[in-house]
Chain A
Amino acid sequence: MKTELDIPAVAVFLFFFALVTVMGFVASKWRRPKTLASLDEWGLVGRQFGTWITWFLVGGDFYTAYTVIAVPALVYSVGAYGFFALPYTILVYPIVFMVMPRLWQVAKDNGHVTAADVVHGRYGSRMLEAAVAITGVVATMPYIALQLIGMATAVKALGFEGELPLIAAFVVLALYTYSSGLRAPALIAFVKDIMIYIAVIAAISVIPGKLGGYANVFNAADEAFKAKGSGSILLQPSQYVAYATLALGSALAAFMYPHTLTGIFASKSATTIRKNAVLLPAYTLMLGLLALLGYMGHAAKLKLASNNDVVPALFQTLFPSWFAGFAFAAIAIGALVPAAVMSIGAANLFTRNFWKAYVNPQVDTAGEAAVAKIASLVVKVGALLVIIYLPTQFALDLQLLGGLWILQTLPALIFGLFTRWFTAPALLAGWVVGLFGGTYLAWTDGLKPLHLLSIGSFQATVYVGLIALVVNIAVAMLVNLVVPKPVATAEAVST
């Protein structure tokens, strides 16, 4: 890839970056409430987002910059297996449709801002609340760091060296998130999503024409994998279970994260969420086509230092430099939206489930907002330090484990919406066994997401997160059967 500064590309990039920076600060005046000094306003914009704002926000927040870089990179390197992102992001919406309207209703009725609030409200257990809150924060931190990796890839492709541009971008992001809260990413998401759509539609309609059509793209990838001796454009039978369990496990985990839940909680009605479950798959279609950029990398015979360079390199090689600059800006801005929402989600957890729970139970709504604003800064600085001082692999490994960890909060958060059968001690026991057992499995496998299960003569490679979830649920049911039920707590019966 080119490393010298590309002036038209840099100019276009800087223009869009400046645009969203201004939008980020102006956002505090958007849908202006009487005061921004409450967590409901700073962190959830008063729960008033209708169908379209939610569509842009959740789309901008869930399909992150890292996705845009990493999915094609994985497809470039291993082929069909990397495509599991498609069934994953299809199946996530039926799950959202069935579960999230109920969760939204409970949160709305009781003024809950975080998943851990919901759990505390349902079970009255500080321990279970803390488990869910800590898991949320810890799983989110490496996710923010990954957004920085996505942004760094785009910035590097422009020809910038060093970490200064990254630090500058992040400081700006931290400042407008501090002042505008969720309004900033929600407003910027409009720009980000439209830019990403333009870049992807241009790529999938123009690039194959230059490379001899889609049939040729698939053939070139097939030949490249055969020459390399690894990867394939179809799955090996030994990968079937891995592919399916990764898709299902990821789909179950996706809306357990604080940033995706923040988008849900900020919606104005259950109908908004259901409608979005119908409309959000538009992004999935885009992601599926974007994944094919990995194969186009083979057809274009790119020489790459890193798999992550496949998308930037394609734009640089096959488009005029001003459009490459546009695409890189789309990716970099694509990192800002999720990074902002993630830090807000983590800050909400810190404020409600640590500060209010243990430090200052009497904190008022303005005090909550003040604490959350500081927390959002700390979270972002933490992610920045991780990226600058620790090896990239560290963030990738943590992100992998983060998916496993966040999935273990599903029983505590979701089961209570449908049944009163489970008790807090049982769910806590399931969480402990699932989280630590799953981490141990992944650790002993050399931090791989897949584990070889042998039951008798049956052998299959299964996503570790899903194994841990099954064990988690089994333990919760067992404890529930063995330990006698306490009398139901107050709020548990109110909904």
Chain B
Amino acid sequence: MGRHFLWLLLIPFVGLLWVPFYNFHDPVLFGFPFFYWYQLAWVPATAFLTWLAYRTYPNED
């Protein structure tokens, strides 16, 4: 069934809850300090990981 894809969903928790990992000003991107663009980047990244997990389920619609 490929349910091991569910483990992918734990990655954002590690990436976002370990704050010392991203509480920096540099590097700046488009004027955004790292702290801000790093967390914003997790939005599409998490959606992508969730999509990978989504694909392993049958479509019931």
A residues within 8 Å of B by Cβ? 50-51, 80, 83, 86-87, 90-91, 93-94, 97-98, 208, 213-218, 233-235, 237, 240-241, 243-244, 247-248, 268-272, 274-275, 277-279, 281, 284-285, 288-289, 292
Q: A235 touches which one: B23, B32, B44, B50 (CB < 8 A)?
A: B23
When each residue 21-40 of chain B gets 1 if its CB lies under 8 Å from chain A and 0 otherwise, what string results?
Answer: 00111001011110110011
Chain A, residue nearest B53 (CB): A97
Q: Is the CB of A281 within 8 A of B47?
A: yes
A216 to B36, CA, bound (A): 15
CB distance from B34 to the nearest CB of A (A): 9
Beyond contacts A215-B31, A285-B40: 4 other A-B pairs, Cβ-Cβ < 8 A, are A83-B36, A94-B13, A233-B25, A288-B39
Can you list 13 residue pairs at the A/B interface with Cβ under 8 Å? A83-B36, A86-B40, A90-B43, A98-B6, A243-B19, A268-B61, A269-B60, A270-B60, A271-B58, A271-B59, A278-B50, A281-B43, A285-B40
User: Are A235 and B39 within 8 A (Cβ)?
Assistant: no
Asked if residues B61 and A97 are in contact (CB atoms below 8 Å), the reply is no
> In this complex, what residue of A is CB-closest to B46?
A90
Q: How far is the CA of A284 from the CA of B13 in the complex (A)?
A: 16
Decide yes or no: A240 and B20 within 8 Å by CB, A87-B42, A91-B13, A285-B43 being known contacts. Answer: yes
SS class of chain B's interface: helix, strand, loop or mixed?
helix
Nearest A residue to B9, CB-CB: A94
**Shortest distance between the CB of A437 and any CB in chain B (Å):** 24
Shortest Cβ gap from B47 to chain A (Å): 4
Residues of chain B within 8 A of A208, CB atoms compared: 31
Q: Is the CB of A278 within 8 A of B51?
A: yes
Would A269 and B61 count as touching, CB distance under 8 A? yes
Closest 6 CB pairs of A and B: A214-B31, A215-B31, A94-B9, A87-B16, A240-B19, A244-B17
Residue of B30, B36, B61 contacting most chain A CB atoms (<10 Å): B36
Chain A residues with CB under 8 Å of B61's CB are 50-51, 268-269, 271-272
Contacts of A279 in B (CB 8 A): 47
Contact B13 A235 (CB under 8 A): no
Contact B39 A97 (CB under 8 A): no
A233/B33 in contact, CB under 8 A: yes
Q: Which residue of B lies closest to A286 (CB)?
A: B43
Contacting pair B35 A234 (CB below 8 A):
yes
User: If A50-B61, A98-B6 touch, does A240 touch B30 (CB 8 Å cutoff)?
Assistant: no
The CA of A284 and the CA of B60, in the complex, are separated in Å by: 26
Measured CB to CB, the closest approach of chain B to A95, in angstroms, equals 9
A89 to chain B, nearest CB (A): 9
Nearest chain B residue, comparing its CB with the CB of A244: B17
Q: Are A234 and B24 in contact (CB under 8 A)?
A: yes
A277 CA to B46 CA in the complex, in Å? Answer: 10
Q: Is the CB of A247 within 8 A of B31?
A: no
CA distance A318 to B50 in the complex (A): 38
Contacts A87-B16, A91-B16 hold; do A271 and B43 have CB atoms under 8 A apart? Answer: no
Closest-CB distance, A140 to chain B (whole angstroms): 27
Q: Report the separation of the CA atoms of residues A50 and B18 in the bound assembly, to the nearest whole angstrom.
A: 36
Q: A214-B30, A288-B43 are in contact. Are A240 and B60 (CB under 8 A)?
A: no
A270 to B53, CA, bound (A): 14
Partner among A240, A275, A278, A285 whose Cβ is within 8 Å of the Cβ of B23: A240
Write the chain A residue with the least CB distance to B6.
A98
Which B residues touch A87, using CB under 8 A? 16-17, 39, 42
Cross-chain contact of B12 among A80, A91, A278 (Cβ < 8 A): A91
Asked if A271 meets B60 with Cβ closer than 8 Å, knowing A98-B6, A233-B33, A278-B54, the reply is: yes
Contacts of A274 in B (CB 8 A): 54, 57
Q: For the complex formed, measure the closest distance between the CB of A486 and the CB atoms of chain B, giving whole angstroms.
A: 32
A214: chain B residues at CB < 8 Å are 30-32
Q: B32: which A residues are within 8 A, CB to CB?
A: 214, 218
A243 to B43, CA, bound (A): 17
**Does the CB pair A277–B54 fall under 8 Å?**
yes
CB within 8 Å for A97 and B50 given contacts A90-B42, A243-B19, A244-B17: yes
